[in-house]
Amino acid sequence: MGYQEAYDKLEKYGQQHVLKYYEELRKEEQEALLCQIEQTDFEVLSLCQKKETLNPRGEITPIGVMQLPEIEVKKEEYTKIGLDAIRAGKVGAVLLAGGMGTRLGSDAPKGVYNIGLTKEVFIFQRLIENLLDVVNQAGAWIPLYVMTSDKNHETTTAFFKEKEYFGYNADYVTFFMQDMAPASDYEGKVYMEAKNKISTSPNGNGGWFLSMMKWGVVDKIREAGVEWLNVFAVDNVLQRIADPCFVGATIATNSAVGAKVVKKNAPDEKVGAMCLEDGKPSIVEYYDMTEELMAAKDENGEPAYNFGVILNYLFREKDLEEIVAKKLPLHIVEKKIPFLDDKGELVKPEKPNGYKFEQLVLDMIHELDSCLPYEVVRNKEFAPIKNKTGIDSVESARELCKENGIEL
Ligand code: UTP
């Protein structure tokens, strides 16, 4: 795209400031900027004006959850079904590692964070060790697809190589990059992260399947006969991945998707709760939890929205193709966004200063007709690392690892 064309595109969206430093740039920097302008979807920025009315919620009602006692009774049966599926090569795992981990405050990808105390224990290592437990139990490798982003791809792939995949079979590991979206101030003007670069950030944890398609990974999945994908977050160092009992329960109940859930520790805990929305499976985010929903009780007198999701889902591959064909909605998320100030110097803000535009995995669930919320023991399977200290932190995850006999 030439300068004039780029200018016209920017003018259409009121973003001409992107070219402020154009004259100062070297030729190749100018070309890089023009190329980025060509590729950027500025349309998403108009969502800032509609923020209040974006993604209205439907009627929220409770959903049935498969709880621990019921799972215990069927454990053997479900585990066998799950192991058979894994041995037949029907189950793959998708690690969502494209996030920026801004709350943790490390510039490196979250997975390379070392939570060890007396030895090195990296977050990626913990996840691979958990997956290896199942590989050993099944006697079969499970294909692992790792989503990175433009911001952390090189470091992530180099790290896995350097650490020899922590004992995993590299032939079964595929990396792919997620798409990026522009990041803006509160008025919808894109920030610049360099004089020749519009500020971008990964487009959320819901963009993974579309990115997999773009990278040709879905073709490989189909060829390999993988029918189920267990998608999981990078930050929960205790979660069981491709858990045979969970896989078996989802298959046996003929559910379109399985969702691991934990009992919430308080009605206002900051986790999304599984629910039905207009009769279809969904997740009510903690900030959408009204007093009324928090007080609601089920027929046993228990809180009706008592089970929180932990971003560990088992999707049926063929449903995913239909879901992404429908185009998932975008959400506006307030975040800290590094930007160039008026003097052209890079500022790393201490507080949120603008918006990112994200697709969320919860909207994928809502497209499906059935979901199996599947309870797991909280202290055994939920140790998320979002912050350095306090709730959901390196500290709390270390405590939980110790409780579970994991040496750090
Ligand atoms: P979070 O919502 O905790 O976001 O991601 P984050 O970017 O890791 O951390 P903060 O909010 O900046 O502190 C939940 C999971 O979704 C992945 C993350 O890597 C994590 O596994 N994710 C999130 C992506 O893969 N891509 C994204 O664009 C966002």
**What average pLDDT does this structure show over 193-197?**
96
Those residues with Cβ within 8 angstroms of residue 225's Cβ, 6 or more apart along the chain or in another chain = 88, 89, 90
Residue by residue, DSSP assigns 162-189 as: HTGGGG--GGGEEEEE--EEE-B-TTSP
Q: Is 277 in the pocket of ligand 1 (CB under 6 A)?
A: no
**What average pLDDT does this structure show over 279-303?**
92
Q: Model confidence at 225, in pLDDT bands (50, 70, 90)?
A: very high
pLDDT of 55 higher than 90 = no
pLDDT in the model for residue 74: 98
Q: Is 157 in the pocket of ligand 1 (CB under 6 A)?
A: no
Q: What's the token pair of residue 104?
A: 């943790």
**Of 156-160, 173-177, 230-234, 282-286, which range is least confident?**
282-286
**What average pLDDT does this structure show over 316-331?**
91
Question: For the chain, which domains are there?
Answer: 1-39 (no CATH), 40-403 (3.90.550.10)
As to burial, measured by CB atoms within 10 angstroms (0-12 exposed, 13-18 middle, 19+ buried), residue 188 is: buried
Q: Model confidence at 48, in pLDDT bands (50, 70, 90)?
A: confident
Pocket test for ligand 1, best of 149, 156, 205 (most atoms within 8 A of CB): 205
Pocket test for ligand 1, best of 44, 94, 95, 96 (most atoms within 8 A of CB): 96
Q: What's the 43 CA to ligand 1 centre distance in angstroms?
A: 23
Residues 11-24: tens digit of each pLDDT: 999 999 999 999 99
Q: What's the 140 CA to ligand 1 centre distance in angstroms?
A: 29
CA pair distance 217, 215, nearest whole angstrom: 5
Residue by residue, DSSP assigns 279-303 as: TEEEEE-GGG--HHHHH-B-TTSSB
pLDDT in the model for residue 102: 84
Q: Model confidence at 221, in pLDDT bands (50, 70, 90)?
A: very high
Those residues with Cβ within 8 angstroms of residue 6's Cβ, 6 or more apart along the chain or in another chain = 19, 33, 34, 37, 38
Q: What's the 100 CA to ligand 1 centre distance in angstroms?
A: 6
Q: Is 233 in the pocket of ligand 1 (CB under 6 A)?
A: yes
Continuous segment of H or E residues that includes residue 154: helix 153-162
Q: Specify whether the CB–CB gap between 183 and 158 falls below 8 A.
A: no
Residues 347-404: tens digit of each pLDDT: 999 999 999 999 999 999 999 999 999 999 999 999 999 999 999 999 999 999 999 9
Q: Is 336 in the pocket of ligand 1 (CB under 6 A)?
A: no
What pTM does this model have? 0.94
Those residues with Cβ within 8 angstroms of residue 351's Cβ, 6 or more apart along the chain or in another chain = 336
Query: Can you name the residues that pair with 371 across neighbouring β-strands?
Result: 257
Determine what percent of the chain is predicted with pLDDT higher than 70.
100
Question: Where would I find the beta strands (DSSP E) of 74-138?
Answer: 91-96
pLDDT of 49 higher than 90 = no
**What average pLDDT does this structure show over 158-177?**
98
pLDDT in the model for residue 299: 86
Closest listed residue to residue 131, CA positions, set 258, 218, 213, 234: 234
More confident residue, 47 or 228: 228
Atom of ligand 1 nearest to the CA of 235: 21
What's the full length of the chain, in residues? 408
pLDDT of 82 higher than 90 = yes
CA 395 vs CA 69, 118, 392: distances in Å: 31, 14, 8
Atom of ligand 1 nearest to the CA of 178: 26
Atom of ligand 1 nearest to the CA of 208: 25
Mean pLDDT (the chain) is: 95
pLDDT of 244 higher than 90 = yes
Residue 328: CB atoms within 10 Å: 22
